[in-house]
Structure 1
């Protein structure tokens, strides 16, 4: 990452790291990282990790018997997904803004399986065109400064039949107004569909998050949150085949 971009992102990284530390993400035990997305029963984020574990199984089922895919994990955090994919024989690289040892790319030291790590931003990935078969945004797309630039950059580094996979980012039917001093880390279905059309990307729904469509449960959650509860679908995006 260029020095001027390091400086630009420094406030976000510092704030994010403080928040994650306060929320008690990560552990001092290497076995904790190797087991992810499974976590101990007393983990403060066990409910969220259970959702991620379910979606991880869906992703693995979707990938199927394919081996040695060139995969980029964008917004990889502590690299747990990169580790799991490397363990299954894929050639994996991980990208994140943060490199701290507890909750960033520095956590790679806890894993047995090798994958490359790059400190970079979503809109400026340090890779050549057509370098990857699969680009995964795992609980990270909602942090994109520009959805259009991020997806365009992901498309640039994809092989001709490669795909973008969106997992575990919160989507809403309507936009949510945030306070002026708080970033808007929310995506809407219309926003994604509009951006995909602008970039000429085909969208396919792999998992529609049907569990959230039970009306009674949604109403209870909405009352507690004071807003519409998030949906967590799984999407693929792909450029149309060249004739």
Structure 2
């Protein structure tokens, strides 16, 4: 970005009213009238500032009937400008920002009273509660579609994922380094007869080669002293045709924000994850950033799926089980 573009962005961030509007639009999609009610500014003044923000590429709008809903768009910001915005939006203890944030709920309640629920949250539905519409309900409804075979869950924690997935697996093994966490997982999962919970190290897995159809590493690598070795061990215990499902925080610089969680690493770039997997002898079938958190510091999560080469997928335990079922039908 050249100096002229930088100057434009700095002028935007130097205006207190525009910072107030951006802080609100980062959290919610709002109309001019709603922004006016929250900030106690006249609608023409709000409109003027929104036009400037839109011209700078920091705000996008969405039409719904006669209304226009505005949202902060961070996509045009480069990393340095995102850091600047983060400092502005989280580093200030200005009373106006606090008052604005406190008024949002009432404005959204008024919107909901004037519309049906679906219309009031259109375009932002996943962030609002509705009876029965939870991520857990969605997961439990969709999980029967899976065929997972024999599963190893590395750094499995207290078994939340296992509780969801194990009923749809032939065998499900949890492994974690913490004795206390393993005990909690054993208690949570005690009713599931196909689950085994073990204490162990992801860098030296206590399993024979080619033992599993699916290895899951959900944020395991953030606790790995030697992440490449942990991925190599996952590949070792996979059967030919088996899959590795891995997710991790994307590379970040927010050490203080994760210090309390005991993270050993500050996330990984897609390039780093691909390198680990290729070195382990796996083929990447999917690698993408799947989510970016709404609240600062806006952590991103990278998801990777890789397959262990074999003679087709016929070598995997899932395929063998399906073939056996077909032969006896």
Q: TM-score scaled by structure 1? A: 0.59
Which has the larger share of helix?
2
Distance 2:150 2:205 in 1: 15
Give the 5 Å matches for 1:168-207.
169-172=248-251, 176=253, 178=255, 183-205=264-286
Which residue of the partner structure matches residue 131 of structure 1? 211
- Aligned runs of 1:82-121 on 2, under 5 Å? 82-100=162-180, 103-111=181-189, 112-114=191-193, 115-121=195-201
Paired position in structure 1 for 2:156: 76
Q: Is the 8 A contact 2:159 2:188 kept in 1?
A: no
Partners of 1:142 and 1:170 within 8 A in 2: yes
1:122 to 170, 185, 202: 202
Q: Check whether the contact 1:143–1:185 (CA below 8 A) recurs between aligned residues.
A: no
Q: Hey, what's the Cα distance between the residues in 1 that align with 2:303 and 2:161?
A: 15
1:143 corresponds to 2:223: yes
- Structure number with larger C-alpha Rg: 2
Q: Check the 8 A contact 1:96/1:105 in 2, yes or no.
A: no
Aligned length: 174
Provide structure 1 residue ranges, at least 5 long, that are not aligned to the other structure.
1-49
Q: Deviations over 1:8-67 (max 9, x none)?
A: xxxxxxxxxxxxxxxxxxxxxxxxxxxxxxxxxxxxxxxxxx998599569837xx3426
Alpha-carbon offset, residue 137 of structure 1: 0.8
Q: Distance in 1 between matches of 2:141 and 2:224?
A: 24
Displacement, 1:205?
Answer: 2.2
How many angstroms does 1:122 deviate by? 0.6
**Greater alpha carbon shift after TM alignment, 134-143 vs 182-191:** 182-191
**Aligned residue for 2:239?**
159
* TM-score of the superposed pair, with normalisation by structure 2: 0.45
In structure 2, relative to structure 1, the CA distance for the partners of 1:185 and 1:60 (3 Å cut) is: farther
Other-structure match for 2:318: none
Give unmatched runs, 5+ long, in structure 2.
1-132, 313-329
**What's the CA shift for 1:240?**
3.0
| Conservation of the 8 A alpha-carbon contact between 1:71 and 1:136 | yes
Q: Which runs of 4+ in 1 moved over 6 A?
A: none
Match of 1:235 among 290, 304, 316: 304
Higher relative contact order (CA 8 A, sep 6+): 1
